[in-house]
């Protein structure tokens, strides 16, 4: 079943058939109707390989997911897939380990798959600085800001991590907390972690709160297990604190568990705040206080921007999506 058969069936030439199938002008309504009808009846499927070989262009968009244990990305991928499904493009998703170089990997995948664009879910600017030069198709970095990076083909849509985590700390300070520890990411390797840390520090400075980055900060991976371990370590070190901020909900959940295992109650003994706003957080015990990211907006804007750029209808841009601090049950006023 090729356009040749279709041509034979309808009496037109392959040229006309091709034009009809692709909605090109210069084909009579009679011809178009007849051909489309025949195609439909015969269940004709255009051969993508032949098309792409001829046109020297694929139809695929790459999604590179960095750090698979962060459930936020799971939600994002789902949203992205839904947006893309309504377009002519197709999606290829690749999950990378948290400490792989996502840009190097993307370069390699671009050579191999020749996609029209790529969506990076997470990433760190150092990798972009050194390796992104090899990529010349439109890309967008999701959940990280790339406005400081000197690439004309790299957009970004992200939450303002500094403001968001500053707000988180502010909220806890407003509750009367002054003794903080942070379960964060590795700031030498994750921009997100660095920015969220920076947001915390701003709040601390603004409120004259003492914070020792060597003693009160643990930089680990974004997972339940690491959140748990980091909290254990903080506890073992003998630091005294009434508030714990975890820069991801998964870590916060691990942290709460560790606190419990050490006989500490949440929020009575220590308040815990997470980051991301996973649905799960509404069902945990206690319900997780968190700063929520706008997952759907993040996803939709990312694919809109990417497609605009792929289709040459726009330049690269850097957008910020809203966040909100949700005070649920894992935080409370100091002393009750």
Partner DNA sequence: TTGTACGCGTTATCAA
Partner DNA sequence: TTGATAACGCGTACAA
Q: Based on CB atoms, which residue is closest to its own copies, 117 or 227?
A: 227
User: Which of 204, 208, 127, 225 is closest to 217 using CA atoms?
Assistant: 204
Minimal distance in Å, beta carbon 55 to DNA? 5
Minimal distance in Å, beta carbon 272 to its own copies? 11
Q: How far apart are CA 295 and CA 149, in angstroms?
A: 23
Residue 120 interacts, among its own copies, DNA, none and using kind-specific CB cut-offs from 5 to 8 Å, with: none
Rg (CA), the chain: 25
14 sits near DNA (criterion: CB under 7 A)? yes
Residue 324 near residue 291, CB atoms below 8 Å: yes
Q: Based on CB atoms, which residue is closest to its own copies, 11 or 133?
A: 133
Burial class (CB in 10 A: 0-12, 13-18, 19+), 46: middle
26 sits near DNA (criterion: CB under 7 A)? yes
Restricting to residues 48-77, name those near DNA by CB under 7 A.
50-51, 53-56
Q: Based on CB atoms, which residue is closest to DNA, 50 or 324?
A: 50
Helices and strands (H, E) in the chain, number of each type: 12, 12
228 sits near its own copies (criterion: CB under 8 A)? yes
Minimal distance in Å, beta carbon 261 to its own copies? 10
74 sits near its own copies (criterion: CB under 8 A)? yes
Q: Based on CB atoms, which residue is closest to its own copies, 126 or 257?
A: 257
Which positions from 298 to 327 touch its own copies by CB under 8 A, shown as an x/- string? ------------------------------
Q: Kindly provide the residue ranges of all beta strands, DSSP E only, lying in the chain, ordered along the sequence.
A: 60-66, 90-96, 117-121, 139-142, 154-159, 180-185, 217-220, 243-246, 271-276, 289-293, 318-321, 323-326
| Total of residues contacting DNA (CB under 7 A) | 29
275 sits near its own copies (criterion: CB under 8 A)? no
37 CB contacts (<8 Å, ≥6 apart)? none
Minimal distance in Å, beta carbon 324 to DNA? 46
Q: Based on CB atoms, which residue is closest to DNA, 18 or 124?
A: 18
Give the C-alpha distances (Å, rounded to integers) separating 283 from 277, 286, 287, 295, 313. Answer: 12, 8, 6, 18, 43
284 sits near its own copies (criterion: CB under 8 A)? yes
Q: Based on CB atoms, which residue is closest to its own copies, 252 or 316?
A: 252
76 sits near its own copies (criterion: CB under 8 A)? no
In the structure encoding, which two tokens stand for residue 147, read together?
A: 């406005």
Residue 274 near residue 256, CB atoms below 8 Å: no
| Total of residues contacting its own copies (CB under 8 A) | 38
224 sits near its own copies (criterion: CB under 8 A)? yes
User: Which of 40, 54, 119, 112 is closest to 84 using CA atoms?
Assistant: 119
User: Which of 156, 89, 87 is closest to 120 using CA atoms?
Assistant: 156
Q: How far apart are CA 80 and CA 33, in angstroms?
A: 34
126 sits near its own copies (criterion: CB under 8 A)? no
Residue 256 near residue 266, CB atoms below 8 Å: yes
Which positions from 235 to 264 touch its own copies by CB under 8 A, shown as an x/- string? ------------------xx-xx--x----
Q: How far apart are CA 243 and CA 274, in angstroms?
A: 11
Near its own copies by CB under 8 A: residue from 11, 282, 311, 333: 282
Q: How far apart are CA 274 and CA 164, in angstroms?
A: 11
What does the angle CA 290 – CA 292 – CA 297 come to, to the nearest 5 degrees?
Answer: 175
Q: Which residues bind its own copies (CB under 8 A)?
A: 43, 45, 47-50, 52-53, 58, 68, 71, 74, 78, 81, 90, 92-95, 111-113, 224-225, 228, 253-254, 256-257, 260, 279-280, 282-287
Q: Which residues bind DNA (CB under 7 A)?
A: 2-4, 11-16, 18-19, 21-22, 24-28, 30-31, 45-47, 50-51, 53-56
């Amino acid at each position: 079943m090729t356009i040749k058969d279709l041509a034979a069936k309808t009496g037109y030439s392959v040229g006309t058939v091709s034009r009809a199938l692709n909605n090109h002008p210069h084909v009579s309504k009679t011809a178009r109707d007849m051909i489309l009808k025949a195609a439909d009846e015969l269940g004709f499927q255009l051969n993508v390989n032949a098309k792409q070989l001829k046109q020297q262009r694929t139809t695929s968009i790459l999604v590179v997911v960095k750090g698979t244990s962060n459930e936020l990305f799971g939600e994002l991928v789902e949203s992205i897939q839904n947006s893309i499904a309504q377009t002519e493009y197709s999606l290829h998703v690749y999950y990378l380990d948290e400490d792989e170089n996502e840009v190097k990997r993307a370069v390699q995948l671009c050579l191999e798959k020749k996609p029209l664009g790529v969506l990076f879910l997470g990433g760190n600017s150092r990798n972009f600085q050194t390796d992104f030069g090899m990529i010349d198709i439109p890309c967008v970095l999701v959940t990280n800001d790339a406005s400081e990076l000197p690439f004309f083909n790299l957009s970004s849509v992200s939450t303002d991590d500094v403001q968001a985590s500053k707000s988180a700390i502010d909220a806890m300070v407003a509750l009367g907390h002054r003794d903080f520890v942070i379960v964060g990411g590795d700031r030498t390797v994750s921009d997100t972690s660095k920015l969220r840390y920076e947001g915390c520090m701003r709040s601390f400075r603004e409120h004259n709160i003492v914070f020792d980055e060597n003693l009160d900060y643990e930089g680990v991976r974004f997972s339940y297990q690491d959140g748990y371990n980091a909290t254990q370590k903080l506890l073992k070190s003998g630091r005294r604190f009434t508030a714990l901020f975890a820069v991801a909900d998964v870590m916060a959940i691990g942290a709460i568990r560790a606190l419990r295992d050490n006989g500490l109650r949440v929020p009575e003994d220590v308040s815990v705040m997470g980051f991301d706003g996973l649905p799960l957080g509404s069902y945990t015990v206690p319900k997780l206080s968190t700063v929520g990211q706008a997952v759907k907006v993040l996803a939709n804007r990312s694919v809109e921007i990417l497609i605009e750029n792929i289709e040459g209808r726009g330049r690269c841009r850097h957008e910020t999506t809203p966040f909100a601090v949700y005070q649920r049950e894992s935080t409370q006023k100091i002393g009750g």
